[in-house]
Amino acid sequence: MSQVVISLFDHSGRFVEPWAAAGYTCYCVDVQHPAGETWMGNVCLVGGDVRHFAPPPGPIAFVAAFPPCTDLSNAGAHLFRVKGLRALAAALDLVGTAADLCERLGAPYFIENPKGQLRHYWREPEHRFSPCEYAGWLANPTDEAYTKHTCLWTGHGFQMPEKRPVFPIHGSMVDKVPGSKNRANIRSLTPRGFAAAVFTTHHQTSPTL
């Protein structure tokens, strides 16, 4: 039975936190990690391009992917013509790499991106949510009482977790993040409420540990 979780395009490691705490071996792949493998307990930070990532052998319990959305999101649509064809092609290539890996690995998976071009070039997402709809999973729900329209493309038995919504007292996350060097990383942080809900749903359904 698998005790391995893979999270692609994951700099913060937030998605794997509950899995790691439960004893799973977790791989977080992101170009912003130090090159090569850095082990932190049972979490392996893989620094490099997802297109060169070789997953560990054996069965996988879950795969998550958070590909860059800058050249796909409707929020940047006014810049599409300025950025040109190659930016779009590169962004689609990364999503395609994630989709191929997810299909090949055979575990429940989701690929996350905002509303944007993927519905035209791939398919409609299977699910949509905002972080505030899962904030009730947190000890401090107000931490994630914000909206950010998020889409999920899913497969291999992924189940959308039960929502525990709170009122979005912080409004839209996209408008709130201050301008800073770290702005893109802050805006794209995986919501911990959603991560907890996905873990509970998929961990309980799998007799792995």
Contacting residues toward ligand SAM, per CB under 6 A: 9-12, 14, 29-32, 49-50, 66, 68-69, 94, 188-190
Closest separation in Å from C-beta 10 to ligand SAM: 5
CB 98 within 8 A of CB 111: yes
Strand order in the sheet with 109-113: 36-40, 43-47, 25-30, 4-8, 62-65, 109-113, 150-155, 127-129
Closest separation in Å from C-beta 188 to ligand SAM: 4
CB 4 within 8 A of CB 60: yes
Q: C-alpha angle with apex 65: 108 to 13, nearest 5 degrees?
A: 105
Nearer to ligand SAM, 177 or 208 (CB): 177
Nearer to ligand SAM, 11 or 202 (CB): 11
- Phi and psi, residue 12, nearest 5°: -75, -30
- Token pair for 188: 């794209």
Nearer to ligand SAM, 51 or 205 (CB): 51
> Nearest CA to 125 among 137, 113, 143?
113
Nearer to ligand SAM, 14 or 148 (CB): 14
Closest separation in Å from C-beta 133 to ligand SAM: 17
Closest separation in Å from C-beta 29 to ligand SAM: 6
Nearer to ligand SAM, 116 or 168 (CB): 116
Closest separation in Å from C-beta 1 to ligand SAM: 27
- Phi and psi, residue 99, nearest 5°: -65, -40
